[in-house]
Amino acid sequence: MTNSLTHPKQGDKENSPWFNEFLIKLLEDRDRIGLTDMIRQIDALMITVEPGCSIAYIKELSLMTPYHYLVTLESETHWTHILRIDMRSPDILVREVRDPNVSGIFRSLNEVYPIGAHKPNSRYMGEIFRVTNLHEVVELQRAREIRFFNQDQIRKLELPGNLALVKPSPYTHNVVGYWERPESELRIYALGNSIIHNEVNKAYVEAKNIQAKVGLDQLILPVDHLATRVYSQNREAAILEYLTLSSYYYWGSYNIEDQNSSTNVTKSIHYPHESYSPAKVFTAANHPYFVNHIVGLPSPTENFVRNYGPRLHHIALSVADGETKGMENIDYVVETIRAQGKDFLLDVIGSKEEGLKQIFSSASEHSSLIVEYVQRYGDFQGFFTKDNVASLTMAAGVEENLKMLQAEATDQ
Ligand SMILES: [Fe+2]
């Protein structure tokens, strides 16, 4: 039996006695009933985009990430494009709503937020976990009061029929799916007709040719972590809920005092390397927005959540440690991608001495997601330095404020 409580806790952010008590109780229970052993790695990440946006988004991902276009699953009102690196990292499903009048639950989650509503179909939906026994996992989770979409709802949502899907989290608005797959077998999505979409394929090939020509294909590695932003009062519940739904453990939390924020990390208990199953990070403000005028600090994290709703903020990709053409790899990657017309929110921050360097891209106009690049030096294990997170959070906040002003201008 796996023990989810063996890792020493990192970080300096204090948690409540309630969190500390239930962290132990939840993980002990999860281990004891066998869920920890049955729930394995993240097998896929699901993203939806606006009608007409998937080709451009896949072109962007083909340049900025190691993902390859594999196939498109065509169903009545959606295209679901499958992107893959290999079987040692999660797939990305890019789902395009073909008909702008389609109004499902994932759209509703955007519609009450001032910026989220401007791109109602664009959001990260959640991740699919590989499990060794789907029936048992679902029964055990139901007994723990986890709610699932029924088969009819999954069919209407045009999601793969071999998936058990948990209802969106009230804290993160993300979903978790489970499917059964022996490790040695390929991932099969039971949905629609499999086609190679000619325009997607053309965009993919073009982007990959550029990526190979400038040497990015050797430097950008799989997903390192996924960072979700939640309301300040939901921080502890969001972390513990994710540990309830997954086989992840609590790595620790860092207080980013100056930005009135904290970064909270959970990691796979089974796969120590993130490329196999990315870390899940939760970011929350230290204070809710209505005390900002008393606290007197900026509040970029809570602003983001108020503008978009709780949701995934960025997908971080690792950059290979080393140098290219006399530059550190991350600097070369960023300069090369900038030359292809993509913007970044700030310059590369951090240093070799501190252990890592990081940067945020501008949010994709197709998915609203930011890409983070992170290069670690030597055997550095962390996800950030405090100074880096403060700079990244601040830079994302500056762009946020601009978007809010634009949204207000178009709403009037
Ligand atoms: Fe990050």
CB neighbour class for 207 (10 Å; exposed up to 12, middle 13-18, buried from 19): buried
**Which residues of the chain does CATH 3.10.180.10 include?**
37-211, 213-411
CA of 73 relative to ligand 1 center, distance in Å: 31
CA of 281 relative to ligand 1 center, distance in Å: 7
Mean pLDDT for 142-153 is 97
Q: Are 372 and 359 in contact (CB under 8 A)?
A: yes
pTM metric for this prediction:
0.95
Give me the CATH topology for the region 213-411. Answer: 2,3-Dihydroxybiphenyl 1,2-Dioxygenase; domain 1 (3.10.180)
CA of 384 relative to ligand 1 center, distance in Å: 7
pLDDT of 53 higher than 70: yes
Looking at per-residue pLDDT, the higher value among 378 and 92 belongs to 92
CA of 226 relative to ligand 1 center, distance in Å: 7
CA of 371 relative to ligand 1 center, distance in Å: 9
What pLDDT score was predicted for residue 411? 62
Confidence of residue 383 (pLDDT cuts 50, 70, 90): confident
Please, what sign has the CA dihedral across residues 71, 73, 78, 83?
negative
Q: Which of 106, 132, 138 is nearest to 40 (CA)?
A: 132
What pLDDT score was predicted for residue 288? 97
CA of 359 relative to ligand 1 center, distance in Å: 9
CA of 169 relative to ligand 1 center, distance in Å: 21
Architecture of domain 37-211: Roll (3.10)
* d(C-alpha 386, C-alpha 373), whole Å: 16
CA of 135 relative to ligand 1 center, distance in Å: 34
Interhelix angle 300-308/386-411, nearest 10 degrees: 40
Per-residue pLDDT tens digits for 213-264:
999 999 999 999 999 999 999 999 999 999 999 999 999 999 999 889 999 9
CA of 372 relative to ligand 1 center, distance in Å: 6
Please, what sign has the CA dihedral across residues 196, 199, 204, 206?
positive
Tokens, residue 19: 């969190």
Q: Are 302 and 288 in contact (CB under 8 A)?
A: yes
Provide the pairing of β-strand 220-230 with 279-285: parallel
